[in-house]
């Protein structure tokens, strides 16, 4: 199975190289291991994350694309759908099949027709429009709902940090 996964990842990498999505760079960490990728995601325009450059890693299982990869931001990112350790929590990265909690439909979850590009575009969309009803970071979700000004200040400082700019006064 790992042979098929490697071939699929090589094909997806070639496609991303030929037609990169705006604001996204992604590639294997090195040519010896196509199962670990590094990414740079630019914060979506007209959002509190605009202009930030957020590094992340994607780890693919040996049975990819039957099982979803795992994605983790390697920088600080205060967001309702990102755990404190940087792990991304979105439906497209959840194991295929029925959701044991009944929150997601099986069509929202991982399927082998998904791709690295679709994952990355979903993450950009998540940055722009958090799902505060399914929070990985409850404090961020609560602040997103109840104190958007403070949330935006935190996001602005995270963007500044990614660009090595001085932090704004809180």
Q: Give me the active site residues, please.
A: 89
Q: CA-CA distance, 94 to 110, in Å (whole number)? A: 6
Say if residues 94 and 110 touch (Cβ distance below 8 Å).
yes
The CB density around residue 143, as the number of other CB atoms within 10 Å, is 20
Q: CA-CA distance, 23 to 75, in Å (whole number)? A: 17
Under DSSP, the state recorded for 140 is H
Q: Which two tokens stand for residue 73?
A: 């931001």
Q: Which two tokens stand for residue 139?
A: 């404090």
């Amino acid at each position: 199975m790992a042979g098929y996964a490697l071939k699929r990842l090589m094909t997806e990498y070639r496609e991303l190289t030929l037609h990169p999505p705006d604001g996204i760079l992604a590639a294997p960490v090195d040519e010896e291991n196509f199962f670990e990728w590094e990414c740079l995601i630019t914060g979506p325009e007209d959002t509190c994350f605009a202009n930030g450059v957020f590094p992340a890693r994607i780890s693919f299982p040996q049975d990819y694309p039957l099982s979803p990869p795992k994605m983790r931001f390697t920088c600080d990112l205060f967001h309702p759908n990102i755990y404190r350790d940087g792990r991304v929590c979105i439906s497209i990265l959840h194991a295929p099949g029925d959701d044991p909690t009944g929150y997601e439909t099986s069509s929202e979850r991982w399927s082998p027709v998904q791709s690295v590009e679709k994952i990355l575009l979903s993450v950009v969309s998540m940055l722009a429009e958090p799902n505060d009803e399914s929070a990985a970071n409850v404090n961020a979700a609560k602040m997103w709902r109840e104190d958007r000004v403070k949330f935006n200040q935190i996001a602005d400082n995270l963007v500044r940090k990614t660009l090595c700019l001085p932090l704004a006064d809180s």
